[in-house]
Amino acid sequence: MINFGGKIEVKVSKKYKDSTASEILKLTTMARDKKSKTENFITRFSKVYTPIVIIVAVLIIATFPFILRISLREALSRAFMFLVASCPCSLVISVPLSFFVGIGTCSKNGIVVKGSNFLDLLSNVETIAFDKTGTITDGVFKIIKINNVSNLKDEDILEYIGLAELMSNHHIAKSINNSISKHLDKKRVKRHVEIAGKGIVALIDEKEVTVGNKALLNEKGINVEENEDEGTTVYLAIGNKYVGNIVLSDVLKRDVEKINYHLKKKFGIKRSVLLTGDKEDVAKQVQNRLQFDEIYADLLPKDKVEIVNKLKENSKGKIAFVGDGINDSPVLASADIGISMGSGSDIAINAADLILLSNQPIKLIKAIQISKKTKRIVTENITFVLCVKIVVLLLSALGISKMWEAIFADVGVSLIAILNAFRIFKIKEKNI
């Protein structure tokens, strides 16, 4: 709706710097600063290498006529051959090109990579932490039960929860509102505050309504027993009185069940972890089907950051985090490599280094496969270029090689390295 002439009254209840959004942005920015910068080895190498070869060429001209008793003309010829063979362009072109082809191959597979250094990091990932809702599961919840402990009708319980969730973008909120057929009047909601990882507090029909997990109700001093039903429970309190809960069930995403098996068996991932704001029972059900090594439940956004930082301390390899929600953005930024679902919130997509457009975590396997192949080809190219160069440089200085060999060491080697880089496009389909 666009407001052309009407009046809008806005009451500020909190300064922006105290808001959850600002807090999350702050955490995200701070975490981003902590990211390790990939050392650009080739650029640094070229900076040292180029002056050294020029000095060596000058030394050949200045000293060889005296030491080896050769003519100045012969010394000049050797120095020029040495310079031609030494040109670093095969390294300077082929290394970034290999990463470029790697990024292109990712794009072809629906994986957005925000920089070549992330492809480099991904090839060294040892531990992967996954968010649950919207990442491992579809995030499309179905209401399976209403537990009513008040005089209200079940429909009223649903209506209050639906009204409180009207303005939220959380998977739970959207799913609840999609399953309520009755029209809900937005005007009944006077105030709405969303607490990330917990739920919502709203003013509905002049009554304070709390909708969310047990922790949120307890925080407000409302006593509530843990619901034992299988599924995600959303509790409802009106005023200070707990009135009931609804139980929701979510389904696992397609092909996700074998993700840990493939990651470990075929791609050398050592540890996989599930981090969720949902309760322990739900996390355990997912654990039973997907075989995570560790699960952590009842987490707030800052708890997820703490756990990932601990994992980083205790691990030699890199840590990746895969998530989708606003609440995941600080941890996406603090992991060595953050991976977001394409359907994730804008802030999560912003904080991530890699985006899986199809929203299928199984695509992570393809991304790791491409990153490992890219890394292998980069190493092959560097080794090949350096070996050929060292041999031809020595032969040029000793006057054994011909000019064509020096040219081969420059242009020929560059072409071979470039053609080798294009092999990244040909990624074999693994049986998954």
Taking CB under 5 A as the rule, does residue 420 contact Mg ion? no
Q: Which residue sits closest to ligand ADP, CB atoms considered?
A: 277
Taking CB under 6 A as the rule, does residue 192 contact ligand ADP? no
Taking CB under 5 A as the rule, does residue 324 contact Mg ion? yes
Taking CB under 5 A as the rule, does residue 197 contact Mg ion? no
In the residue annotation, 293 being an active-site residue is answered as: no
Q: What is the DSSP letter of 282?
A: H
Using the contact rule CB under 5 A, the part of the chain among 16-24, 104-112, 149-157, 318-326 near Mg ion is 318-326
Taking CB under 6 A as the rule, does residue 198 contact ligand ADP? yes
Pairing of the two strands 199-204 and 337-341: unpaired
Residue 183 burial class via C-beta count within 10 angstroms: exposed 0-12, middle 13-18, buried 19 and up: exposed
Grouping H, G, I as helix, E, B as strand and the rest as coil, residue 23 is helix
Nearest alpha carbon to residue 204 among 150, 160, 258 = 160
Taking CB under 6 A as the rule, does residue 232 contact ligand ADP? yes
Q: Residue 142: which H helix or E strand, with range?
A: strand 142-148
Using the contact rule CB under 6 A, the part of the chain among 31-39, 211-219, 385-393, 419-427 near ligand ADP is 211-219
Q: Could you tell me the smallest distance in angstroms from the CB atom of residue 363 to ligand ADP? A: 19
Taking CB under 6 A as the rule, does residue 361 contact ligand ADP? no
Using the contact rule CB under 6 A, the part of the chain among 70-78, 209-217, 377-385, 391-399 near ligand ADP is 209-217
Taking CB under 6 A as the rule, does residue 297 contact ligand ADP? no
Q: Which amino acid is at 425?
A: F
Taking CB under 6 A as the rule, does residue 170 contact ligand ADP? yes
Q: What is the DSSP letter of 328?
A: G
Tell me whether residue 325 or residue 330 sits nearer to ligand ADP (CB atom): 325
Pairing of the two strands 199-204 and 207-212: antiparallel
Catalytic residue among 18, 33, 120, 131: 131
Grouping H, G, I as helix, E, B as strand and the rest as coil, residue 94 is helix
Q: What angle do CA 406, 91, 391 make, to 5 degrees?
A: 40
Q: In this chain, which of 81, 211, 217, 331 binds ligand ADP, going by CB under 6 A?
A: 211
- 16 within 8 A of 26, measured Cβ to Cβ: no
CA distances from 105 to 112, 359, 373 (A): 10, 18, 11
Q: Calculate the CA dihedral of residues 368, 374, 377, 383 and round it to 10 degrees.
A: -100
Q: In this chain, which of 91, 111, 131, 236 binds Mg ion, going by CB under 5 A?
A: 131
State the binding string over 150-169 for ligand ADP (x if CB under 6 A, else -).
---------------x--x-
- 320 within 8 A of 129, measured Cβ to Cβ: yes
Q: Could you tell me the smallest distance in angstroms from the CB atom of residue 133 to Mg ion? A: 4
Task: Give the pair of three-digit tokens for residue 324.
Answer: 């989708």
Q: In this chain, which of 102, 162, 212, 330 binds ligand ADP, going by CB under 6 A?
A: 212
Tell me whether residue 244 or residue 325 sits nearer to Mg ion (CB atom): 325
277 binds, among ligand ADP, Mg ion, none (CB under 5 to 8 A by kind): ligand ADP
Q: Give the active site residues.
A: 131
